[in-house]
Amino acid sequence: MEIYLVGGAVRDRLMNLPSADRDWLVVGSSPEEMAALGYQQVGRDFPVFLHPESHEEYALARTERKTAPGHGGFEFDTSMQVRLEEDLSRRDLTINAMAEDSEGKVIDPFGGRGDLERKCLRHVSSAFAEDPLRVFRLARFAAQLPGFSVADETLTLARNMADNGELTELSAERVWQEWRKSLAGDEPSAFLVVLRQCHALEGWFRELRAPDLTYPAALESPLHRFASLGWAIGSEAVNTLAERLKAPNEFRRLAAGVAIHGSVFARWRKTPAIEVYQSVKAADGFKQESDFLDLLTVVAACAGVNLDDLAALCGAIRVEVVAAPFVEAGLIGVELGRALDDARARRISEAQ
């Protein structure tokens, strides 16, 4: 049995980057031997084991053969005869196809180290074309590794996959997962740039075809960056995009809020107070717990304005303009609601 550190952890170490997860590869073993050593088997498609103490993942070396369309249509061989280089050859990019042995020696049969130095994203072999998800992984690595560019031959291969309609075989959840990871990258717009180069925007991301589409530099979280698209492409387009990709509700809700209320908040001092009040109310800006501050953060970045004063004003109104005095004055029901509306709108007008 031989154990190697593989994949992203090796790449990140060579780049002097922190690595959150470590993946281990076991060559020359079997499920029975792993179980006897105390490893716990997990995974449905092929044997992956959790270390009895560290709980890190250890996978048996494997080869794979395409048997059906889609990301999951593979047949695996995890026999003890599978060699390290055979396992590495099935990986997507050369920079992810390196291994490190117990003495720290890097095994690099496909030139990944050189591609790291050249900042080049290059496929390992023609097997790249067997998994359509790899087109989106390629774009995601461009977003996570600033300054990296895609090799011409890899662009050609990915473009052929997109032109042949193979990307439509994927599930929305897998595509969303890759995009969400890219939204956390140092260069998130590179995801769309690479997909545009690969002709891969049309199916899943057709609303984002504009070549100058970027995310505001002030926004750093995936949630805020996604929500900024509400400002860029509008309510209908961002809703359609979110629905197609099955984006989480918090992403959909915030993006829709930016699309619907963004222009009012960006110009709140020059907009009729009643319109500002109605937008704040619709966006739950007078509630203790809401997405309102996130919404203002995104709008401020998109419009290039400071909305701290609006956030403070709405917080003050929430605390100071309450129902109790109006109830004591005998107002109930519709009249009470109207009085609260008028008082809050008046406070906005005074601030303007």
pLDDT digits (tens, 9 = 90+) for 302-320: 999 999 999 999 999 999 9
Q: Establish whether domains 1-112 and 132-214 are of one fold.
A: no
| pLDDT tens sequence across 235-287 | 999 999 999 999 999 999 999 999 999 999 999 999 999 999 999 999 999 98
pTM: 0.90
Report whether pLDDT(67) > 70. Answer: no
Using alpha carbons, select from 31, 29, 30, 25 the residue that is nearest to residue 99. 25
Length of the chain equals 352
Boundaries of every domain in the chain: 1-112, 132-214, 217-352
pLDDT, the chain, mean = 93
Partnered with residue 4 across adjacent β-strands are 25
Among candidate residues 96, 97, 80, 79, the one with its CA nearest the CA of residue 88: 97
Taking only the tens place, the pLDDT of each residue in 158-175 is 999 999 999 998 999 999
- How far apart are the C-alpha atoms of 205 and 242, rounded to whole Å? 10
CATH number of 132-214: 1.10.110
Tokens of 335: 């009249």
pLDDT (mean) for 49-67: 85
pLDDT attached to residue 20: 76
* Residue 163 neighbours by CB distance under 10 Å: 13
* Residue the block writes with tokens 């023609």: 126
Query: Cβ(263)–Cβ(301) under 8 Å?
Result: no
Which pLDDT belongs to residue 290? 82
Q: How far apart are CA 55 and CA 67, in angstroms?
A: 32
The answer to whether 14 and 113 have CB atoms below 8 angstroms apart is: yes
pLDDT at 135 over 80: yes
Q: Among residues 228, 217, 224, which one has the least CA distance to residue 186?
A: 217
Describe the crossing of helices 172-183 and 235-245 by its angle, rounded to 10 degrees: 120
Tokens of 27: 């060559």
**Three-state SS letters, the chain:** CEEEEECHHHHHHHCCCCCCCCEEEEECCCHHHHHHCCCEEECCCCCEEECCCCCCEEEECCEEEECCCCCCCEEEECCCCCCHHHHHHCCCEHHHCCEECCCCCEECCCCHHHHHHHCEECECCHHHHHCCHHHHHHHHHHHHCCCCEECHHHHHHHHHHHHCCHHHHCCHHHHHHHHHHHHCCCCCHHHHHHHHHCCCHHHHCHHHCCCCCCCCCCCCCHHHHHHHHHHHHCHHHHHHHHHHHCCCHHHHHHHHHHHHHHHHHHCHHHCCHHHHHHHHHHCCCCCCCCCHHHHHHHHHHHHCCCCHHHHHHHHHHHHHCCCHHHHHCCCCHHHHHHHHHHHHHHHHHHHC
Beta carbons within 8 Å of 244's beta carbon, 6+ residues apart: 172, 204
Higher-scoring residue by pLDDT: 17, 154: 154
CATH for 1-112, among 3.30.460.10, 3.30.1330.10, 1.10.357.10, 3.20.20.70? 3.30.460.10
Contact (CB, 8 A) for 298 and 254: yes
| Among 42-46, 82-86, 87-91, the least confident range | 42-46
Residues 159, 263: Cα–Cα separation, whole Å: 38
Amino acid at 130: E
Selection from 148, 203, 188 nearest residue 15 by Cα: 148
Q: Which two tokens stand for residue 4?
A: 């190697």
Structure-token pair, residue 235: 């309510």
Residue 316 tokens read as: 């003050």
Give all strands of the β-sheet with 106-107 in edge-to-edge order.
40-42, 48-50, 57-60, 23-27, 2-6, 99-100, 106-107
